[in-house]
Structure 1
Amino acid sequence: MSQVNDVSVECDVLVLGGGPGGYSAAFRSADLGQKTLLVERYATLGGVCLNVGCIPSKALLHIAAVMEEVPHLAAMGIEFGVGQVDLGTLRRHKEAVVNTLTSGLAGMAKGRKVEVVRGVGRFLDPHHLEVSLCSGTGLELTGEKQVIRFKQCVIAAGSQPVTLPFMPDDPRIVDSTGALELKTVPKRMLVVGGGIIGLEMATVYSALGARIDVVERLDGLMQGPDRDLVKVWEQYNHPRFDRVMVNTRTVSAEASEQGIWVTFDGEQAPAEPQCYDLVLVAVGRKPNGDRIGADKAGVHVDERGFIRVDKQMRSTVPHIFAIGDIVGQPMLAHKAVHEGHVAAEVAAGEALNNPELACSHFDALQIPGVAYTNPEVAWAGLTQQEAKAQGIKVEVAVFPWAASGRAIANGRDEGLTKLVFDAGTRRVIGGGIVGTGAGDLISEVCLAIEMGADALDIGKTLHPHPTLGETVGMAAEVALGSCTDLPARRR
């Protein structure tokens, strides 16, 4: 194939991958006047996050939270009948949420004149990408190919679930995408991997009636936040699980008519194989760096499949940028979006000879994480554990939700709000929240870290009462020694 004579289309900026980072990079490029083309394998934009990840899981988690709240109302004098679950209607609701957002993205792409090519892309050289075109709703290849010539490129090719080689090929063994299809509610379900994805899906299936076992090879569940936050979550969720097996590995699995028989090894492994109706494998994700022919473009990909970039999101080839899951942890949509904006601005700045845009760079002081479980767990900046590991002397202030009027009124006072301050500057460098709505509440902590706020800035900011948000201000008052919503400190 002649890479020049067979070119189907040319563009200023090519974006490979239409997830949150990819479509954000494409839309920003178009807004800056660049002729932009976006290659995406899914029939709709949004990537894994919107189509089979973040958004559909949150639709189901919202329903799970409501279902689990209803029985608690009996103690307050409000009783409902036994809930009946119609899985077909529930699936249609989830799909409607996704369709609303994907149709909106399609309209925004059209309005910006971003051309979308549906297919799987691989580099031919530093300025050409070959796309194997797809059709239908899945990943069916048509056999047709297009060659795209680009001046600059943003790689946003994402990641895929890690698989366990010993797992048999059986529809009762699923990854997160398969779990979200919600084909049936199992009686017994095993979650392999105690991270956020596995625990979120455990929350959904538990609310629908499944009994859950979870196995984790490390020494605790949900490794991101501080252990005091996770402890609150564990105490609340204890009834959800039949077994929580930490320091334990899954070593084999066998499919039978009765179910999937799984064998474990480790500290809390049961002596005999256990039988499950559904097994969710959620042991992490791996980047797609080795699936796009990056070497043909001269882009270095490390042994794990990551593309290393600088603060302007440049790869080893100056006119080729990379963003999102493919450049490293944490693999989060909100990180990818900001990286996509940076890449688009630098690329346009050079093309338009605009120094201000060309100097754009990614320099976040914090990247928040959230487990959308029940209760939610959210954290930002440095955890107390991370600060200790880095030798940073800190002061920690905690406000328990048992002293929050709003939390008590809501019947959900198990939570806490925690702030981590640099002991020298008194500036907040981290924070964590466990409780209902923690993912929304953490935003104030994010802004405080980015703005260099100290305890006085936060504590003297008027927060509305009674709200859960005021627990952030009260945690700062704890640090200042001025909190009057807790017992006086002993002198």
Structure 2
Amino acid sequence: MHTPLVVLGGGPGGYAAAFLAADEGLDVTIVEAEPRLGGTCLLRGCIPSKALLHVARVIGEVDELREDWGVSYDDRPRIDVDAVRARKDKVIDNLTGGLGNLAKRRGVTVIRARGSFIDSTTMKLEGDDPSIPDDGQLTFDHCILATGSVPAMPPAFDIGSDKVMDSTGALALADIPENLLVIGGGYIGLEMGSVYAGLGSKVTVVELAEGLLPGADRDLVKPLAKRIEKLLEGRVYLNTKVGSIAEAEDGRIEVTFEGPGRFGHERFDRVLVSIGRRPVTKGLGLENTQVVVNQRGFVECDAQQRTADPHILAIGDVAGDPMLAHKATHEGRVAAEVVAGKPAAFDKAAIPAVVFTDPEIAWAGLTQEEARREGRNVDVAIYPWAASGRAQALGRTEGLTKWLIDPETQRVLGCGIVGVGAGELIAEAALAIEMGCEAGDISETVHAHPTMSETLMNSAEVFFGTATEIYKPKRKPAAVAE
């Protein structure tokens, strides 16, 4: 069995690459071990987590009406876990079914099998799909490697209990535990912790670093950290290490803590380990090819997604940070065009990142943390949402919008937003950075009022000292050397 192009992995990068390659006239085969297309993002990541976050967010909004708006309800909402789980699964089914239909309409062959490399142009297929040839081998001219990533689970935490979960287990929503420990204050831990807290669990978060969301700008994290502290009633412990995990005689999970805020033993009904993800590059037979895998487990590739093996390209999580579905999709399209003989390359000025907590955090382009590490001189223009009429009307004034601007050229280099709907707002910033816009392009673009999108314009106005709702001395023009 031979195919000109095989895509190993049917996630958002893999199916995007396969579909575009088919649109370009190539004969394409997807090899995917899962029974459905969609990968981690659709089956047990981005989509199901956002469906559950929606539920938690609406419950939170009801609580806000009680606390701040004089609207009262008789009692707390009653959670039907089976119904919530079924609704989440229905969303997944609808989307995966659509992908299957799109593959058929494009003439893309989908083989349900686990694929591994025998050599640079031959793949071994293992599974019970009747389309697998008798010899279990598939030869190809080119392969796009799109095997994604899996949750990292330290051996010390892997005690063989289903009560110690990774993100996949947490999204299965087996029950709503009375007490849940989240190990890791990154975006996955905070998102899932918010879900379970919204559904009624008593959630505790422990983070080894000195702050939540390590790597994100501190001014963006601060409003979220304050709200998380309130949501979890202060059960957020920083600079704290989890020493050991064991199953106690009562069936609960006993955890030892080592830190200034928390020290000693405590028992939980469930524990979520969310300390990052690792690329899936082991067990694929890559050692039988010329592909180079670095010490972190990522496949080395160039701007055209080509690896050191002329027959193999790599995209998505296996191709390096950031591990984001939208980055995988764009890399997949580049790889497909390269295989089709087009002069494509992945050269993005901004890859937006979003933390779907409440409030959301989003950023694109250069961050303040990066500018500080690199010693880059930038102007930071911040517009506090307390000055926004829309934010005041929503009762959510804790947010802010900021631009990072080159002081010489006035070109926008980065943007950070924290607040309700930040994930939707960041798209304008990504476009502006990608187009090389100047701050004046943003400030002079008419934005609808009253909206949160205005804060992007207002933040640019802060740079010039012309923001209407806040006072900041007008920016002086740069001196001209004589």
Q: TM-score range by the shorter chain?
A: over 0.9
Residue 214 in structure 1 maps to residue 205 in structure 2? yes
Stretches of structure 2 that go unaligned for 5 or more consecutive residues are 476-482
- Cα distance in 1 for partners of 2:221, 2:146 equals 32
CA shift at 1:341, angstroms?
0.4
Give the match for residue 266 of structure 1: 259
Which amino acid letter does the alignment assign opposite residue 432 of structure 1? G
SS in structure 1 of the partner of residue 190 of structure 2: helix
Give the match for residue 150 of structure 1: 140
Residues 290, 301 of structure 1: 8 Å contact kept: no
CA shift at 1:135, angstroms?
6.5
Match of 2:160 among 164, 169, 175: 169
- Cα distance in 1 for partners of 2:24, 2:171 equals 37
- Mapping 1:195-214, distance limit 5 Å: 195-214=186-205
Give the match for residue 362 of structure 1: 346
- Mapping 1:204-353, distance limit 5 Å: 204-241=195-232, 242-256=234-248, 257-270=250-263, 272-349=264-341
- Please say which of residues 85-94 and 257-266 is displaced more in the overlay: 257-266
- Cα distance in 2 for partners of 1:130, 1:188 equals 45
Give the match for residue 150 of structure 2: 160
- Cα distance in 2 for partners of 1:237, 1:162 equals 24
Match of 1:457 among 438, 441, 458: 441
Give the match for residue 177 of structure 2: 186
Residue 99 in structure 1 maps to residue 129 in structure 2? no
Give the match for residue 139 of structure 1: none
CA shift at 1:145, angstroms?
6.5
- Cα distance in 2 for partners of 1:291, 1:381 equals 35
CA shift at 1:258, angstroms?
4.8
SS in structure 2 of the partner of residue 291 of structure 1: coil
Q: Deviations over 1:287-324 (max 9, x none)?
A: 11122101112212223321000000000012210000
Q: How many residues align?
A: 469
CA shift at 1:275, angstroms?
0.7
Structure 1 residues 320 and 143: alpha-carbon distance in aligned structure 2, compared to 1, 3 A threshold? closer
CA shift at 1:214, angstroms?
1.2
Residues 246, 253 of structure 2: 8 Å contact kept: yes
Give the match for residue 127 of structure 1: 121
Which amino acid letter does the alignment assign opposite residue 261 of structure 1? E
Residues 191, 356 of structure 2: 8 Å contact kept: yes
Match of 1:22 among 5, 14, 17: 14
Which amino acid letter does the alignment assign opposite residue 211 of structure 2? G
Residues 370, 378 of structure 1: 8 Å contact kept: yes
Residues 25, 337 of structure 1: 8 Å contact kept: yes
- Please say which of residues 93-102 and 302-311 is displaced more in the overlay: 302-311
SS in structure 1 of the partner of residue 340 of structure 2: helix
Match of 2:50 among 49, 58, 82: 58
Structure 1 residues 145 and 196: alpha-carbon distance in aligned structure 2, compared to 1, 3 A threshold? farther
Question: What is the TM-score normalised by the length of structure 2?
Answer: 0.94
Residues 121, 139 of structure 2: 8 Å contact kept: yes
- Please say which of residues 83-92 and 248-257 is displaced more in the overlay: 248-257
CA shift at 1:134, angstroms?
4.7
Residues 241, 257 of structure 2: 8 Å contact kept: yes
- Cα distance in 1 for partners of 2:120, 2:69 equals 66
Which amino acid letter does the alignment assign opposite residue 112 of structure 2? R
CA shift at 1:29, angstroms?
0.7
- The alignment yields a C-alpha RMSD, in angstroms, of 1.7
CA shift at 1:400, angstroms?
0.7
Q: Deviations over 1:16-45 (max 9, x none)?
A: 000000000100110111000000111110
CA shift at 1:218, angstroms?
1.7
SS in structure 2 of the partner of residue 396 of structure 1: strand
Which amino acid letter does the alignment assign opposite residue 390 of structure 2? R
- Cα distance in 2 for partners of 1:146, 1:422 equals 56
- Cα distance in 1 for partners of 2:133, 2:389 equals 63
SS in structure 1 of the partner of residue 17 of structure 2: helix
Which amino acid letter does the alignment assign opposite residue 187 of structure 2? I
- Cα distance in 2 for partners of 1:266, 1:145 equals 56
- Cα distance in 2 for partners of 1:206, 1:127 equals 49
SS in structure 2 of the partner of residue 299 of structure 1: coil
Match of 1:87 among 78, 81, 98: 81
Residues 298, 318 of structure 2: 8 Å contact kept: yes
Residues 41, 134 of structure 1: 8 Å contact kept: no
Match of 1:46 among 38, 50, 65: 38
CA shift at 1:143, angstroms?
12
Structure 1 residues 486 and 146: alpha-carbon distance in aligned structure 2, compared to 1, 3 A threshold? same
Which amino acid letter does the alignment assign opposite residue 442 of structure 1? I
Residues 120, 134 of structure 1: 8 Å contact kept: no
Residues 215, 369 of structure 2: 8 Å contact kept: no
SS in structure 2 of the partner of residue 80 of structure 1: coil
- Cα distance in 1 for partners of 2:324, 2:474 equals 43
Question: What is the TM-score normalised by the length of structure 1?
Answer: 0.93
SS in structure 2 of the partner of residue 289 of structure 1: coil
Structure 1 residues 387 and 134: alpha-carbon distance in aligned structure 2, compared to 1, 3 A threshold? farther
Give the match for residue 3 of structure 1: none
Residues 313, 339 of structure 1: 8 Å contact kept: yes
Which amino acid letter does the alignment assign opposite residue 179 of structure 1? A
- Cα distance in 1 for partners of 2:142, 2:267 equals 52
Match of 1:480 among 449, 464, 479: 464
- Cα distance in 1 for partners of 2:280, 2:390 equals 45
Structure 1 vs Structure 2: percent identity of aligned residues? 47
Give the match for residue 115 of structure 1: 109
Which amino acid letter does the alignment assign opposite residue 152 of structure 1? H
CA shift at 1:163, angstroms?
0.8
CA shift at 1:438, angstroms?
0.3
* Runs of at least 4 residues off by over 4 Å: 142-145
